[in-house]
Amino acid sequence: MNNKKLVCASLAVAMGVSLAGAAHAQSACNSGAKVLEAIWGRWGDRIKAKACKTSEECLSNTQKKEELLREMISFWNEQSQGSWATIGPRPLMTDGSLNDGKVIAGGARLFVSQAPLDTDKWELQLTKQGGGGADVNVSLSDGKNCLVAKSISFDKDDKPGTKKSVALEKGTGYLGVVKVDAKGSNAFDYKFTFVKK
């Protein structure tokens, strides 16, 4: 067990060092490194158990894909029982359900997909519900590397009800990551959907 902790600690340090070079561009994934590592590790174990050589191979097989998604949702819920997922990252709903919340001044909220995305094109549409300004980053992760896709910003002067969207491409096989980062001294209330296009 101690070896496992040492390996995990070493991986976390290595990830921190390797991601530090592009800290600003990769901040959405950096703040969720532990979550991304855990999800990606479990995903790798499960695709091997399904005799798939790659994520894409399992995602293209309907039966394996459905089994894997159920297993990954179960894993997420298992991890949420009083551990890192309870406070911190939230599951990124990718089925058209609303993702929502309130980020306090100077804070951030991270949403992570429970399994790798199963199609290339996605769209995030966010509505400001109230409060000040925020930066919203949409990224992809393979558990080790973070690929920044796009970002949108809301100013404190944007009225409640203001909607902005961003398109994401080449998502298949990666974890989806959305970070909502409040700017200034005001909280930011929001709701968004992350859906296939």
Can you give the residue range of the structural domain that contains 170? 2-196
Indicate yes or no: pTM above 0.85.
no
Q: Which CATH number do you get for residue 147?
A: 2.60.120.680
**pLDDT at site 36:** 81
Token duo for residue 73: 């949702």
| Residue 20 burial by Cβ neighbours in a 10 Å radius (0-12, 13-18, 19+) | exposed
Domain count, the chain: 1
Token duo for residue 177: 């990551």
Backbone angles phi, psi at 60, to 5 degrees: -85, -10
pLDDT along the chain (197 residues), means of 10: 36 35 49 79 93 93 90 78 59 92 85 94 97 95 86 96 95 94 88 96
**pLDDT at site 48:** 95
**pLDDT at site 103:** 87
**pLDDT at site 138:** 95
**pLDDT at site 22:** 36
196 DSSP β-pair partners:
122
Whole-number Å distance between alpha carbons of 89 and 29: 11
**pLDDT at site 81:** 63
Distances (CA, A) of 53 to 14, 28, 145: 25, 28, 20
